[in-house]
Amino acid sequence: MNVNRKTVTRLLRIYWIILLPSNQHEATTPAHVAIVADPQIVDHYSYDQTGIILRLTEFFTDIYLRKSYRFLQTLKQPQKIIFLGDLMDGGREWTDKQWVREFHRYQSIFANRNPEKTQIYNMAGNHDIGIGNTVVDHALDRFHKYVGPTNQILDIADHQVILLDTLTLENDDPNKSRASRQLLDHIAKKSMPDNKQQPRVLFTHVPLWRPPQTYCGKERQSKHGYLLNRRGYQFRDQLFQNTTQHILQTVQPTVIFSGDDHDSCTVEHEVPGYANHSNSNSNKATEYTIGAFGWASGVPIASYALLTLYPRTETMEPTLMVQRCFLPYQLGIYKVYLASLAASMMAIAVFCYRGSHTWRQPGLREQRREDQAVCLENGQNTAAGLWSFSRRAFVRYFARIFFDVLVAGVPTYVLCLLFFYVF
């Protein structure tokens, strides 16, 4: 019995000695990236509002953004956060003084709560600097000065993450499009044979071109199941077809992320000359258009995305995983508040109506005794008297009960608002 026990013990020791180092070698930590599209903080240019209406709109939309971003950082704990542009709504229109004030407001909403572990990258949107030939020079320079570069290449978990400024790329002035074109030229020169090339993850503010009425998938909320291709003042729904083909052929991305549309969309692109050995569907790249982060952006349910990048190991090529995350339906919450308020007022009114009747006996002087009113259900209606409704008593009882409810409800709501707005 002792021999058998020693043999089993030794075999198990050998097993664990071999198992633990091998598992430690393979257990490579992935990188977690949060993707936020079109926060577009509300300002005068959003709905042409002024005065107290604008201030209330800013207050409640800011609270939602602040609360959602706070929980994103606390619960998901991403190492990187990439904003896909349109940080402010009227950014390209503001004077420097106005823009700096709005930018400080933006920074207070999207404060980095853990700067030692989380890095933030901000892309430009058409609401920030314009687009194509309508790019505002001063707005672009200001964005570079206060926010950062509009073109970047990041190396994250054996993936090449490319933040491409497609807004200036479609500008006919070579001086304005130089930085974006130089980035593409650099990528083309650094391209390696397929078995050595890192997977490339492309970020662009404006979605890439696709054939008309290409289905966006079941997560889209718009009545149109596809991305429109409109053009107007300082905006376009998609990049030009030739620009899209040039980007795909040069970058040869594994996956693409875009914003601007405010709604979710998932499509596949044919990538010319694409042959990534780690992708079974090697001639295609999926583009994820991320919905807007705010609730006042024309889409009922706000959202963001999580990108997990897994580095290369001895047994696995670099790979990635994408997950869309949807935020609370804020308008639905307000509808519940209003419905609850209406139901509460109705309940109070019914109770007070029943309690606002006084008992009068025939032959006595007509007189309402509001201080002695009792509920109908507690009285006896006999031939000896009549019940008389007192409007003044009804109003007084209604106001008293409604105030008692407000004393508890309003301070609680205000404390919740202050908690997310101040802290």
* Interval 180-189 mean pLDDT: 92
Can you tell me the distance from the alpha carbon of 30 to that of 371, in angstroms, rounded to the nearest whole number? 72
Q: Give yes or no for residue 374 having a pLDDT over 50.
A: no
Higher pLDDT among residues 412 and 19, named by residue: 412
* pLDDT beyond 90 at 137: yes
Band of pLDDT at residue 10, cut at 50, 70 and 90: confident
pLDDT value of position 204:
97
**Confidence band of 39 (pLDDT split at 50, 70, 90):** very high
| Confidence at 369, pLDDT banded by 50, 70, 90 | very low
- Mean pLDDT value across residues 329-340: 88
Share of the chain above pLDDT 70, in %: 82
Q: Which residue has the tokens 């002035």?
A: 173
Q: Is 280 exposed, middle or buried (0-12, 13-18, 19+ CB in 10 A)?
A: exposed
Backbone phi, psi, residue 333, to 5°: -65, -45
> Which of 31, 56, 72 has its CA nearest to residue 302?
72
- What local confidence, expressed as pLDDT, does residue 3 receive? 57
The per-residue pLDDT of the chain, averaged, comes to 84
Is it the case that residue 303 has pLDDT exceeding 60? yes
Give 210's pLDDT tier (boundaries 50, 70, 90).
very high
Better-scored residue on pLDDT, 245 or 415: 245
- The pLDDT, as a whole number, for residue 24 is 47
pLDDT value, residue 362 = 57
Residue 288 predicted with pLDDT over 90: yes
Does 326 score more than 80 pLDDT?
A: yes
For residues 292 and 264, give the distance between their C-alpha atoms in angstroms, rounded to a whole number: 8
pLDDT-based confidence at residue 367 (cuts at 50, 70, 90): very low
Q: Is the pLDDT score of 26 beyond 70?
A: no
Query: Is residue 292 scored above 70 in pLDDT?
Result: yes
Quote the pTM value: 0.80
- Give 60's pLDDT tier (boundaries 50, 70, 90): confident
Burial 309-343 (b: 16+ CB within 10 A, else e): bbbbeeeeebbbebebbebeebeeeeeeeeeeeee
DSSP state of 292: B
What's the confidence (pLDDT) of residue 25? 42
Residue 193 — very low, low, confident or very high, per pLDDT cuts 50/70/90?
low
CA atoms of 183 and 170, how far apart (whole Å): 14
What pLDDT score does 352 carry? 80
Structure confidence by residue, pLDDT tens digits, 86-121: 999 888 888 899 999 999 999 999 999 899 999 999
The predicted-structure confidence for 66-75, as pLDDT tens digits, reads as follows: 999 999 999 9
Please say if the pLDDT value at position 185 is more than 50. Answer: yes
